[in-house]
Structure 1
Amino acid sequence: MLAKANRITSADDYRVIVRRGAKVGGAHTVSYVRSRESGTDARFGFIVSKKVGGAVRRNLVRRRLKAVCHEALGDGISDVDVVVRALPSASLADWNEIRAEVLGALQRRRARSSAAAAQEKGE
């Protein structure tokens, strides 16, 4: 389970991240990633609509997304807010597909931020 400091709980925070965050799409999820100030914990939020399936299927998808994000925290991700929206195909995807998609989105965002920081420094 994600710690309270690593969860997005406010509807306003969800709205800002989805509208202003970088959108990274995949076959089963769409991730919205927004940078935060340096030295802050990463925060995660999840959107799993009824189009994904019934309550049992939605909760399974949500638990898988939470587990992937918990793993990302262990890899040292910080200074970002991430909202992951599950698409209807996520209900049929297995653990490895969801894991690869979400971690790939975070890696792409990390690479983009590194390139932008290097460009600002004039490297």
Structure 2
Amino acid sequence: MLARVNRIVLGNDYRVTVRRGRRSATANVVVSVVSRPSEPTRFGFIVAKTVGNAVTRNLVRRRLKGIAHELLTTDPTGYDVVVRALPAAAQATWPTLLEDVSRSFARGVEKAA
């Protein structure tokens, strides 16, 4: 589980990140990134009903949280990141999701910098 300092919890923070953030998309996810210098990186997740039923959505969300936990150990600090799962994410494997989120996050960081 992500530590509280690494989670986006306020609706306004989600809105700002999605509306003003730099987006990068793949077939499975859309990642929005906003720079927050000298702050810890925070992740938020959006998994809509179009992804599937509750069991499927929770599976996708848990996978995305695990990927975010891995990214926190290797990637830079100072960003708000919102990962929006697309319907194709329901059939995606762990390695595919990991690659998509990592690549989109890296592209978003480049754009936001």
TM-score normalised to the size of structure 2? 0.95
Deviation per CA, 1:9-53: give whole Å up to 9, x if none: 00111001000000101100000001002x210000000011101
1:81 aligned residue: 80
Deviation per CA, 1:41-80: give whole Å up to 9, x if none: 0000000011101111000000010011100101042100
State the distance in 1 between where 2:61 and 2:39 align.
Answer: 24
1:26 aligns with 2:26: yes
* Structure 2: tracts of 5 or more residues without a match: none
**Other structure's SS at 2:84 match:** strand
Relative contact order, CA 8 A, sep 6+: which one is greater? 2
1:120 aligned residue: none
1:51 aligns with 2:63: no
For the 8 Å contact 2:31–2:108, the answer to whether it is kept is: no
* Structure 1: tracts of 5 or more residues without a match: 117-123
Question: Which letter maps to 2:28?
Answer: H
1:105 aligned residue: 104
State the 4+ residue runs in structure 1 displaced beyond 4 angstroms. none
| Percent pairwise identity | 50
1:8 aligned residue: 8
For the 8 Å contact 2:33–2:109, the answer to whether it is kept is: no
The CA RMSD measured in Å over matched residues stands at 1.2
State the distance in 2 between where 1:109 and 1:63 align.
Answer: 22
Q: CA deviation at 1:108?
A: 1.8
TM-score normalised to the size of structure 1? 0.87
State the distance in 2 between where 1:95 and 1:20 align.
Answer: 29
**Structure of greater Rg:** 1
